[in-house]
């Protein structure tokens, strides 16, 4: 089976969260502060130890400034705090996305 890949990206106007629909039919939600705190760049994660140097509390009210696809493997996200070095690869995005599921499970 192919690795799922995003088929788009949009901001949910109600919450300001990023919504990414995937090729396998799943749509995942990304609060922007959580996305920012999950930045995998060398400035946010220690390259040698893998220690995460940022946390969600550091980014109150951060918003998404722009997002562009890099090749066939990642999104480059620019945040309102000016941070633009993070590359969010598809596997990484799948890992950190939140699945809202169905509002009401079938009974
Ligand atoms: Zn970063």
- Single pTM value for the model: 0.88
Phi-psi region of 13 (alpha: psi -120 to 50; beta: other; left: phi over 0): alpha
Does pLDDT of 6 surpass 80? yes
Where exactly are the structural domains of the chain?
10-96
Residue 2's pLDDT is what?
73
Residue 61's pLDDT is what?
95
CA 75 to chain centre: 8
pLDDT band at 3 (very low <50, low <70, confident <90, very high): confident
The residue-averaged pLDDT of 14-18 equals: 95
Alpha carbons within 13 angstroms on the beta-carbon side of residue 84 total 9
CATH of domain 10-96: 3.30.2020.30
- Ligand 1 centre distance from Cα of residue 29 (Å): 19
- Ligand 1 centre distance from Cα of residue 45 (Å): 7
Residue 104's pLDDT is what?
46
- Ligand 1 centre distance from Cα of residue 21 (Å): 23
Residues, CB-to-ion distance under 5 Å, ligand 1:
39, 41, 43-44, 86
Does pLDDT of 1 surpass 90? no
- Ligand 1 centre distance from Cα of residue 103 (Å): 33
Measured between alpha carbons, how far is 75 from 68 in angstroms, rounded to an integer?
6
- Ligand 1 centre distance from Cα of residue 78 (Å): 10
The radius of gyration of the chain from alpha carbons, rounded to an integer in Å, stands at: 14
Residue 44's pLDDT is what?
97
- Ligand 1 centre distance from Cα of residue 73 (Å): 17
Measured between alpha carbons, how far is 14 from 17 in angstroms, rounded to an integer?
8
- pLDDT, one tens digit per residue, over 37-92 is 999 999 999 999 999 999 999 999 999 999 999 999 999 999 999 999 999 999 99
Phi, psi at residue 88, to the nearest 5°? -100, 100
């Amino acid at each position: 089976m192919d690795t799922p890949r995003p088929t788009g990206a949009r901001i949910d106007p109600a919450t300001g969260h990023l919504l990414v629909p995937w090729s396998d039919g799943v749509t995942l939600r990304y609060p922007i502060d959580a996305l920012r705190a999950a930045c995998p760049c060398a400035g946010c994660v220690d390259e040698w130890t893998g220690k995460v140097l940022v946390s969600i509390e550091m980014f109150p009210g951060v918003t998404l400034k722009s997002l562009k696809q890099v090749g066939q493997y990642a999104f480059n996200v620019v945040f309102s705090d000016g941070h633009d070095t993070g590359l969010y690869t598809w596997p990484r995005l799948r890992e950190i996305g939140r699945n809202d599921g169905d509002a009401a499970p079938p009974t």
